[in-house]
Structure 1
Amino acid sequence: MELVRQARAHVARLDLNAEQVAVLDAQAHTARALWNLLHEYFTFRQGRFATLKDCDAAIRTARHEIDWLAQLPAQAAQAVLRTYRQAWANFLNPGHPAKRPTFKGRLRSRLAVDVPQARDLQIKRVNRRWGAINLPKVGRVRFRWTKDLPGLTGGGPAGRITGARLVKDACGWQVVFRTQTLVAPPPTAHPGHTVGIDRGVTVALALSDGTMREHGPWLTPGEKEHLRRLEKTSARRRAARPKKTRPSGREERTYHQIARLRAKAKRRAVDWQHQTTTELATAFAVIKVENLSITNMVGSAKGTIKNPGRNVAQKAGLNRSISGEAWGRTVTLLEYKSADRGGRVVKVPAPGTSQMCHRCGHRDADSRDKTVFACTDPACGWVGHADTNAAINIKNAVGTPVSGRGDLGVPRSVKRQPPRVA
Structure 2
Amino acid sequence: MSIIRALKVSVLAGTLFAAGAFAPGSGSTAVAAQDVSVCLWGTITGPDAILNGMSYGARDYFEYLNQFKGGIAGQKVRTLLLDGRYKLDEELKIYRRCVDQEQAVFVSGWSTGAVKALRDQIAQDQIPFMAQSHSSEVLDPVKLPYIFIPGPTYEQQMVIALRALKQQGGKTVAVMHPDNEYGRGPVNVVRQSGLIEKTGLKLADTIEFPFDTQDLTAQMLRLKSRNPDMVYVQASTPQLLVILRDAAKVGLPAKLFVGNMYNISAAIPEQLGKGAEGFRTIQIYADFGADIPAMKEIDAFRTKNEIAKQDVYYMKGWFQGIVMAKAIENAIAKNGGKIPDDIRSFRKAVRTEMTSLRSLDVGGIVPEANYDTHQGTTLARIAEIRDGRYVPVSDWIDAR
Q: Specify if TM > 0.5.
A: no
Q: TM-score, normalised by structure 1?
A: 0.22
Q: TM-score, normalised by structure 2?
A: 0.23
